[in-house]
Amino acid sequence: MQITGNYHDGKTTASLQAQLAVVPDQPGTVRVSFLSTTNPLSSSLDLLFSDLKIASRLGNIPREISFGDGQLFVTDDNDAVDDLIRRYSGSASRLHRLETNIPLILFSVVFTIMLVWAGVVYGIPASAKAIAFNLPGFTSEKLGSSLSVLDRTVFEVSALPASRQKEIRELIAPYLGYYQQLDPKLVFRSGMQANALALPSGEIVLTDDFVNLVKNDQELLAVFFHEMGHLQHRHIVRRALQGTMLSLMIVFITGDVDSFDLITGLPTLILDLSYSREFEREADVFALEQLARFGISPRHFAAVMARLEDYYTEQSKKSERADQQTLQSDGLSAKRSVSDFFSSHPATEDRIELILQYQKNRSENGLKGQTK
């Protein structure tokens, strides 16, 4: 058995054509013979097989066999090297056999897809929820955007008359008591178009455009309850945790940080947005429960949702920037022109559908209840 390859002496880049073969009458010995006649050293080297360090087989890459002080024999003949190994030590290239085993590869594909799917759909949301509700440290302002940062960047002092602010504070005040454990504080700001935001510190920010957009107190309360839903469910903290876990999962599975770039970034963004839409639905349900609790009709919620929709359609006609703003803000805003896939909020139609469904269920239950 002859293996043809190249020999490097480890001192310079020069290489010599060589052959590696088993020496028949000396057990455990292999011989590297040089084909070139100009070799200054000698015509061959005898080596013990046990002194050879043979790289594991990987795909079709050249096989490197090193020995002595940095000497190297390289060959493309992977099969012959495997035969050589088998001759002395039983089995060769176990990993390579796994990496070319079609049933195992198919199993790996199915297993990995299922595991990732389970992780993304169940594992990550569930563990983020557990962490957010069990570790008090995570509720501090250091996660998520705090009001002072927003004040420096996007917000300005509210231009609403003091009387209007006072009116709204008085409208909300009776309800704040019900959510004392969330420590909510009402804040007025201008900027960020018509928006309402819940910050992890408990601040509920209402923007001037939003206050001017609502037609009555019930609509304003509906949106207030939606934001309270975000606080109640610790959505900002959970979203930050889920984003981190998602990145960690990609790094863990693909095994290197390098692959975390533009290409893996896009699916991460899409998943992050789908988590966000789930949170919006959760906050909507919370708002509907609270409206029911205080005897306010959910149609006000549907009405304000539709109005925000019209507002943003109008805005996007005015400037393309509305697009980014709705995507970035966590507030209650809706947008249909971006497809559902790339939006941080569910489509308004779906949200209104949810409200109507809720209303219908409740009236059915209500009728049953009245027959007692």
Partner 1 sequence: MENNRAIQNQLNFEFRGNGMEYFKIWIVNILLTILTLGIYSAWATVRNRRYFYSNTVLDNTSFSYLADPINILKARVIAVSAFIVYSVVSGLSPVAGIAILLVLLLLFPYFLNKSLAFNHRMSAYKNIQFRFSASYKQAFMVMYVWPLLGMLTLGILYPLVFVKVNEYMVKNSAYGTSKFDFNAGYKDYGIIFLIMIGVGLLFGAIVWAISVFVPALAFSVPVLMAVIYFGLIVYFMVETSNLFYRSTILGEHGFTANLTMAGLAKVIITNAFFILITLGLYLPAAKVRMAKYMCSCLVMNAAGSLDTHAAAEKENISALGEQFGEVFDFGM
Among 41, 48, 104, 157, which residue interacts with partner 1 (rule: CB under 8 A)?
Answer: 104
Centre a 10 Å sphere on the Cβ of residue 291 and count the other Cβ atoms it contains: 24
Please report whether residue 111 would count as binding partner 1 according to CB under 8 A: yes
Please report whether residue 255 would count as binding partner 1 according to CB under 8 A: yes
Residue 282 backbone phi and psi in degrees, to 5: -60, -40
Please report whether residue 61 would count as binding partner 1 according to CB under 8 A: yes
Separation between Cα atoms, residue 203 and residue 227, nearest integer Å: 10
Please report whether residue 130 would count as binding partner 1 according to CB under 8 A: no
Please report whether residue 357 would count as binding partner 1 according to CB under 8 A: no
Separation between Cα atoms, residue 52 and residue 32, nearest integer Å: 12
CA angle 162, 167, 170 (to 5 degrees): 125
Please report whether residue 365 would count as binding partner 1 according to CB under 8 A: no
Please report whether residue 15 would count as binding partner 1 according to CB under 8 A: yes
Cβ 166 to partner 1 shortest distance, Å: 38
Q: What is the dihedral of CA 355, 188, 158, 218, to 10 degrees?
A: 40
Separation between Cα atoms, residue 330 and residue 43, nearest integer Å: 76
Give 27 or 267: the residue with its C-beta nearer to partner 1: 267
Among 130, 267, 310, 356, which residue interacts with partner 1 (rule: CB under 8 A)?
Answer: 267
Query: Which residues partner with 157 through β-bridges?
Result: 189
Cβ 250 to partner 1 shortest distance, Å: 9
Give 112 or 212: the residue with its C-beta nearer to partner 1: 112
Contact window for partner 1 (CB under 8 A) among 23-31, 71-79, 161-169, 202-210:
71-79
Among 42, 50, 319, 371, which residue interacts with partner 1 (rule: CB under 8 A)?
Answer: 319
Among 25, 170, 256, 372, which residue interacts with partner 1 (rule: CB under 8 A)?
Answer: 256
Q: In what order do the strands lie in the sheet with 71-75?
A: 44-48, 29-34, 15-22, 2-8, 71-75, 63-67, 53-54
Residues 134-173 that bind partner 1 (CB under 8 A): 137
Helical residues (DSSP H) of 319-347, grouped into ranges: 321-328
Please report whether residue 313 would count as binding partner 1 according to CB under 8 A: no
Strands (E), 23-125: 29-34, 44-48, 53-54, 63-67, 71-75
Separation between Cα atoms, residue 240 and residue 243, nearest integer Å: 5
Please report whether residue 259 would count as binding partner 1 according to CB under 8 A: yes
Please report whether residue 118 would count as binding partner 1 according to CB under 8 A: no
**In terms of C-beta density within 10 A (0-12 exposed, 13-18 middle, 19 or more buried), how is residue 116 classed?**
middle
Please report whether residue 264 would count as binding partner 1 according to CB under 8 A: yes
Please report whether residue 340 would count as binding partner 1 according to CB under 8 A: no
Q: Which helix (H) or strand (E) holds 254?
A: helix 235-254
Instruction: Please give the size of the binding site for partner 1, defined by CB under 8 A.
Output: 53
Which residues in this chain contact partner 1 in the complex, by CB under 8 A?
6, 8-15, 55, 58-62, 64, 70-72, 74, 95, 98-101, 104-105, 107-109, 111-113, 115-116, 137, 252-257, 259, 262-264, 266-267, 317, 319-320, 323, 337
